[in-house]
Amino acid sequence: MAGLARYMAVLRLFSEGMPTWTVAEMADALQVPQSTAYRTVRDLLGEGLVEMSSEARYRLGPAFVEFDRLTRLTDPLMQAGAHVLRAIVQDAGVPAVALLCRLYGREVMCIADHVSPDASFSPSYERGKPMPLTQGATSKAILARLPAKRLSKLIGADAVETLRPELAVIRRAGFCLGRGEIDEGLAGMAVPIVCEAEGLVASLSLVVESHRLSGAREERLRHVVMNAAHEIEATLNQDHVGALRA
């Protein structure tokens, strides 16, 4: 490993199950000399990306908190969507969780969410947690709006052929409804959000308990989420035009 990849490999070792590491453990996990792991940790330590824990162990550092704040204040998708998440949860009329997710490499990641006070469930999607690209309404709504070449590069030709009929339906309908595909007993209504000028492909989702989603309520919530997603998309495009004129 060389360059940035060397640093990212170390940072990606940290997890909820393993929040602290020694240099020796890092070297063993990455199959690199301890001297290489030590130099990498030394550089990360100097930038605040890791910090000393105890007994020569290291954990993620405060620099991530700084960048998290800056992202929340400057990310165009989060800026356009934050208030919308609260609004659709209030409009749902049932316990719900609203999710704003975007494409993240070969995965999909939630960048913002809002939970209604009466929701007693927690979907697997949560802020900062990468999720599978080919499962669930939230991800499929994004896949449905990707250009064919990019889609094939991300998930492979075989997966594209498997998902092609379903994605075609989503593109025509403008939304995706999934039941129990990610979390048993939960349903997700997702609508794609695209701003080509900002290079963004995302989705807005509302997650509710499956038994609460039927008939007139399903149709009403579909309109709520679609209108909200279109509002975010319009805001993104207007802000981009405004920035160019400025």
Could you say which of 3.40.50.300, 3.40.50.11310, 3.90.650.10, 3.30.450.40 is the CATH number of the domain covering 75-245? Answer: 3.30.450.40
CATH 2.40.10.120 fits 4-65, yes or no: no
73-125 tens-digit pLDDT: 999 999 999 889 999 999 999 999 999 999 998 899 999 999 999 999 999 99
Q: Specify the domain boundaries for CATH 3.30.450.40 within the chain.
A: 75-245
Q: Specify the domain boundaries for CATH 1.10.10.10 within the chain.
A: 4-65
CA trace torsion 7, 10, 11, 14 (10° rounding): 180
42-62 tens-digit pLDDT: 999 999 999 999 888 999 999
CA distance 134 to 158: 12
Q: Which two tokens stand for residue 10?
A: 């170390």
119-178 tens-digit pLDDT: 999 999 999 998 989 999 999 999 999 998 999 999 999 999 999 999 999 999 999 999
Q: Tell me what the mean pLDDT of segment 18-22 comes to.
A: 96
Please name the residues in contact with 99: beta carbons below 8 A apart, sequence gap of 6 or more.
85, 110, 112, 113, 123, 125, 138, 203, 204, 205, 206, 207
